[in-house]
Amino acid sequence: MSGAAHLSIQNVSRIFRSNGTETVALKAIDFELTPSTIVSLVGPSGCGKSTLLRMAAGFDQATEGQILLNGRPVSRPGPDRGIVFQQPQLFPWLSVRDNVEFGPKMRGVARSDYEEAARRYLHAVGLAEFGSHYPYQLSGGMRQRLQIARVLINEPSVLLMDEPFGALDYQTRLDMQQLLLDLCARYKPTVLFITHDIDEAVFISDRIHVMSRRPGRIVGSFDVPLPRPRQFEAVTAAADFTRLKLDILKLLKG
């Protein structure tokens, strides 16, 4: 990774204007992501979670407030932020290995360097034996592992993850959550993670922010008092896991 990152979201609001009308998507969102932590946003559909992530990525701009990365305003996309979408963004005509190598190859990285990096990241996500396969030959979980490897090889300091496991079956989703924790322990990026799944948020996160219905506001924030490393069976049986899950559910229902 390209170094620990501090992401600061400062009093951010987003207003969409069309045909003389205004729609407030986000209102006064304010929180910090300290270096090498996993912070999750949970909230109802349409509350602006993905809008906030797009602003952190530099695809969209705040109407009010600002987003800072290591003290510098975020104004456009950059290689210091890697984005993992719910549906894998892959080139179907390229092999698994070529998909992973594409980013550094386009940046002019030396061939020996990007080939070695591709081997390392494919091994990290459990795809070392599938380098010559094509995306259509992979399962949904494997395609998502490939997307993560494509992001990691660019060595971003921030991972922006928009419901990356939402389309997967239950067991594959658990496997991917564990993989994410293992990769974060190894590479230590700062992670902003969007999810509807409270169990998922509690299992992976250091801190969770709960958003209201539109206009999206932060209505509650929780530190996750669970030690690392984490294993799903042990963590979900803990009293702190159940207590935190219920507190978040109460806020969402309220």
Domain boundary (155, 178, 195) is at 155
pLDDT band at 87 (very low <50, low <70, confident <90, very high): confident
- What percentage of the chain has pLDDT greater than the value 70? 99
**42 burial type by CB count under 10 A (0-12 exposed, 13-18 middle, 19+ buried):** buried
> Is the pLDDT at 35 greater than 90, yes or no?
yes
Q: Which domain holds residue 106?
A: 88-155
167 and 249 housed in the same domain = yes
Structural domain includes residue 151 = yes
Count the domains in the chain.
2
Cα 5 from Cα 187, distance rounded (Å): 12
What single-letter DSSP state applies at residue 209?
E
pLDDT band at 20 (very low <50, low <70, confident <90, very high): confident
223 and 105 housed in the same domain = no
Reported as a single tens digit per residue, the pLDDT across 151-169 is 999 999 999 999 999 889 9
Cα 92 from Cα 228, distance rounded (Å): 37
167 and 243 housed in the same domain = yes
Reported as a single tens digit per residue, the pLDDT across 92-127 is 999 999 999 999 999 999 999 999 999 999 999 999
Report the chain's mean pLDDT, rounded to a whole number. 94
Domain boundary (123, 155, 187) is at 155
Global pTM value? 0.94
> Is the pLDDT at 3 greater than 70, yes or no?
no
226 and 127 housed in the same domain = no
Q: CB pairs under 8 A, 24+ apart, for 138-144?
A: 138/96, 139/172, 140/167, 140/168, 140/169, 140/172, 141/168, 141/172, 141/175, 141/176, 143/88, 143/90, 144/84, 144/88, 144/168, 144/176
Structural domain includes residue 1 = no
170 and 242 housed in the same domain = yes
Which pLDDT score is estimated for 96?
97
How many helices and strands, by DSSP H and E, does the chain display? 8, 10
Mean local confidence (pLDDT), 69-85: 93
Which pLDDT score is estimated for 1?
58
176 and 190 housed in the same domain = yes
Least confidently predicted of 29-33, 74-78, 244-248: 74-78
Which pLDDT score is estimated for 167?
87
Residues 6 or more apart in contact with residue 199 via CB below 8 angstroms: 236, 245
Structural domain includes residue 97 = yes
pLDDT band at 208 (very low <50, low <70, confident <90, very high): very high
Structural domain includes residue 2 = no
> Is the pLDDT at 176 greater than 80, yes or no?
yes
Structural domain includes residue 218 = yes
